[in-house]
A and B are shown apart, each in its own frame.
Chain A
Amino acid sequence: MAISYRQAFLTILKRDLTIAIRHRDDIVNPLLFFIIVVSLFPLGIGPASNTLMKIAPGVIWVAALLSTLLSLERLFKNDHQDGSLEQMLLSPCPTFILVLAKIFAHWLITGLPLIIIAPLLGVLLNLHQDSYLALMLTLLLGTPILSLLGAIGVALTVGLKKGGVLLSLLVLPLYIPVLIFATSAVDSASMNMPYNGQLAIIAALFFGSLTLAPFAVSSALKVSTN
């Protein structure tokens, strides 16, 4: 019995969300990590509000990168171990759809809470008043890119025993462009300058990775599952 692409997408999405809700620490731990990393900076650098205002966008974004990295492993690891990943790859539905659904679920679980909590951390770091909108917009466009690009790295390392450290080596260089444009957008906003240029580039990165990354993930999964 063939099912439509939309149905397959929704099934996988629902399945992944259900699994995540059953294992609540998968959602909470990266978020806690994000909050802790951000709160380490005022302790390490000193609580002077001017300094904090200057470093706030960068700190929030770097912490977002790291917490995404922490949560990436669960994207394919458990499914690979219990064999359900191979079943999904064997199903007649194109891998592109399945991969896209899993990545979207990952973003809903890890990216969205991060965006919701970010303004609070902005207050803690004394973020400039005009930057909040820019921060939210860059996170909204940027965190899906993190999930999409990260999925390539996870798919490549999922078959390996010690993939964790390797994963950061593979994925972080790919994250750098997003980080650069996002922080520069937030900085421009704090100086009351237009930041639609940087936002447009992040949007371009988003659509580029949305269309291309699932192909890379599919072929990487085929390599990893042999």
Chain B
Amino acid sequence: MWKWLHPYANPEVSYHFSGKLIPWFNVISALLLITGLFFALAYSPSDYQQGESVRIFYLHVPAAMLSMGIYLGMAIAALSALVWQLKLAEASISALAPIGAVFTAIALFTGAAWGKPMWGTWWIWDARLTSELILLFLYLGVIALQNAFEDKALAGKAASVLALVGVVNLPIIHYSVEWWNTLHQGATISKFEKPSMSTDMLIPFVICFFGFAFMVASLFCYRFKAEILARNSMRPWVKAIANKQGAK
């Protein structure tokens, strides 16, 4: 395993590898999102209680799940950056943080838009909403801390410490609907036994979720490439790429 992973610790190899992945991720995510959203918005049945407005679910829940998933990924990258001193893990933190922040913001906005017709209010200081808001602040803190340092290597280390500290918020968000019984509805998907929704709603949801997940992967590859270039700008191979681009 380690032998197989080892070449990817080299920035140049990772740069080209993530470049090769981007078209694949783009195609997969476009296909999944087109089919998923088509079924979700046009075909899936409307909810017997919530009517048509339940369809925002197909955007809201994937965004919320990914906002936590991206943070978890960032924290794992932070751990490996601190423990094994991987430079590329630091680069991937700064690549992930803005994507995660945007998905958290999407989850909050769609949640507000869904809350208005369902609960009659845009915002309520409910446990899950509040903890998701904290997650947004944590992302913004990581981004701000990263920008505050002149030196990229120091910035990466500082951001990893903060990302690891903030990870305590994830279980709070995840279990908030079980610990506090508030307006937010309970988990419908992540139950292992039997999801409490019908299959013709579940399948479009799963397709949408993976569509968004591959979109995140592709966005990550773009940002990761840019980060690698920014951090290695004095290396000969980066100069060679720049010259090649300039000659075109």
Contacts and interface: CB of A to CB of B under 8 A. Distances in A.
Interface of A: 149, 152, 156-157, 159-160, 162-163, 166, 169-170, 172-174, 176-177, 180, 208, 216, 219-220, 223-224, 226
B85 to A, nearest CB: 12
Given A216-B165, A224-B158, A166 B138 contact: no
A3 B192 CA distance: 54
Interface in B152-180: 154, 157-158, 161-162, 164-166, 168-169, 172
B14 interface: no
Interface string B34-65: 00000000000000000000000000000000
Contacts of A159: 149, 154
Given A223-B154, A223-B157, A226-B154, A152 B140 contact: no
Given A156-B145, A166-B148, A170-B145, A223 B161 contact: yes
A152 B166 CA distance: 11
B50 to A, nearest CB: 29
9 contacts: A149-B165, A157-B148, A163-B148, A169-B144, A170-B145, A174-B165, A176-B130, A220-B161, A223-B161
A223 B158 contact: yes
A116 B137 CA distance: 32
Nearest to B155: A223
B123 to A, nearest CB: 16
Interface of B: 82, 130, 134, 137-138, 140-141, 144-145, 148-149, 154, 157-158, 161-162, 164-166, 168-169, 172
B239 to A, nearest CB: 28
Contacts of B158: 156, 220, 223-224
Interface centre among B134, B148, B149 (most CB of A within 10 A): B148
Contacts of A226: 154
B82 A170 contact: no
Given A156-B162, A223-B154, A170 B141 contact: yes
A62 to B, nearest CB: 14
B102 to A, nearest CB: 18
Contact of B134 (A162, A173, A219, A223): A173
B137 A156 contact: no
Given A219-B161, A220-B158, A223-B154, A173 B138 contact: yes
A49 to B, nearest CB: 25
Contacts of B145: 156-157, 166, 170
Contacts of B144: 166, 169-170
Contacts of A169: 137, 140-141, 144
B6 to A, nearest CB: 26
A57 to B, nearest CB: 15
Given A166-B144, A177-B172, A152 B165 contact: yes
A160 B137 contact: no
A216 B161 CA distance: 7
Contacts of A172: 137
Contact of A156 (B82, B138, B161, B168): B161
A76 to B, nearest CB: 14
A42 B210 CA distance: 52
Interface centre among A170, A180, A224 (most CB of B within 10 A): A170
Contacts of A216: 161, 164-165
A169 B164 CA distance: 16
Nearest to A149: B165
